[in-house]
């Protein structure tokens, strides 16, 4: 609302400079701006949830801000002209340039960025809860300079490799720096089971278990990959809610 008042103030200063003050026009521009942004605040915030905005938030919003400001100029101008026709049986005078100066674009740019910045940096409690719920279903991995949201259910197994871990899906591998223990703690609330000092598997993808005479065993995953099970970690499989062994 304050930014809309700034827009009206800028328009009033322009009208003063041109010695053609029209308070009715300024008032309807203010009302049109209020209605415009109230109607579009939810669609704008919903757009921010699209995947595009996760990787290029500033660039995407630079283009969108220009689009919505141009849309505002057209919509508010049509609103003002319609009101003048209905109420005064005439059209609001002035050129397109006069309208652009009276409904100045800079305060409207400010309104757009205030809307998206408030949502991004001060999310509501409902949005925080929803975001936390979504975060529990995926992990963030980096690959070739890109940041990827990887669904936990896509992960088949994770293997330790010196100071890194290899995260395996059905057809891809993501190399991430860190310890297997850290990933085990991170995924402990899910179906992931430590079966060896070097292996962490998603129990949902276990197809079968073949015990060996020395107490170890071999797990076969649903993508037919075999994973060695150490006797020291076999108790984790027994405790798993998704796959268990009897011996």
Domains annotated on the chain, with CATH? 2-131 (no CATH), 138-239 (2.40.50.1020)
Please tell me which residue, 121 or 83, carries the higher pLDDT value: 83
Task: Give the torsion sign (CA, 161, 164, 165, 166).
Answer: negative
pLDDT of the residue at 21:
54
Query: Can you give the pLDDT at residue 189?
Result: 64
Q: Confidence class of residue 131 from pLDDT cuts 50, 70 and 90? A: very low
For residue 123, pLDDT over 80 is answered with no
pTM of the complete model: 0.46
Question: Measured at the alpha carbon of residue 132, what is the angle toward residues 131 and 133, in degrees to the nearest 5?
Answer: 90
In this prediction, residue 6 has a pLDDT band, given cuts at 50, 70 and 90, of: low
Query: Is the Cβ–Cβ distance between 197 and 179 less than 8 Å?
Result: no
Structure-token pair, residue 50:
């699209």
pLDDT at 27 over 80: no
Q: What is the pLDDT of residues 53-111, one digit of tens each?
A: 555 778 888 999 999 999 988 898 888 888 888 887 666 656 565 666 667 778 888 88
What number of CA atoms fall less than 13 Å from residue 238's CA on the CB side? 10
> What are the pLDDT digits (tens) for 159-211?
998 889 999 999 899 999 889 998 888 887 668 899 999 999 999 999 999 99
pLDDT class of 31 with cuts at 50, 70, 90:
confident
For 218, the 3-state DSSP assignment is strand
Grade residue 134 by pLDDT with cuts at 50, 70 and 90.
very low
Token pair in block for residue 194? 């430590």
Residue bearing the bigger pLDDT, 51 or 184: 184
Separation between Cα atoms, residue 244 and residue 247, nearest integer Å: 9
pLDDT value of position 205: 92
4 pLDDT tier (thresholds 50, 70, 90): low
CB 35 within 8 A of CB 123: no
């Amino acid at each position: 609302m304050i930014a809309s008042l700034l827009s009206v103030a800028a328009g009033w200063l322009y009208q003063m400079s041109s010695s053609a003050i029209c308070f009715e026009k300024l008032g309807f521009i203010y009302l049109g701006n209020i209605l415009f942004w109230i109607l579009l605040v939810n669609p704008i915030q919903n757009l921010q949830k699209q995947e595009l905005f996760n990787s290029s938030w500033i660039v995407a919003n630079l283009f969108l801000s220009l689009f919505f400001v141009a849309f505002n100029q057209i919509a508010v101008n049509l609103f003002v002209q319609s009101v003048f026709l209905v109420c005064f049986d005439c059209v609001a005078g002035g050129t397109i340039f006069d309208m652009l100066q009276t409904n100045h674009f800079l305060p409207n740019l400010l309104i757009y960025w205030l809307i998206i910045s408030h949502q991004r940096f001060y999310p509501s409690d409902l949005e925080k809860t929803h975001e936390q719920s979504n975060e529990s279903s995926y992990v963030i991995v980096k690959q070739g300079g890109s940041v990827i949201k990887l669904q936990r259910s896509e992960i088949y197994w994770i293997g330790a490799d010196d100071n890194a871990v290899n995260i395996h899906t059905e057809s891809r591998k993501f190399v991430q720096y860190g310890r297997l223990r850290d990933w085990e703690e991170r995924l402990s609330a899910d179906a992931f089971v430590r079966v060896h000092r070097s292996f962490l598997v998603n129990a949902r993808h276990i197809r079968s278990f073949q015990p060996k005479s020395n107490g170890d065993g071999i797990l076969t995953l649903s993508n037919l990959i075999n994973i060695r099970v150490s006797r020291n970690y076999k108790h984790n499989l027994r405790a798993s809610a998704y796959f268990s062994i009897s011996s």
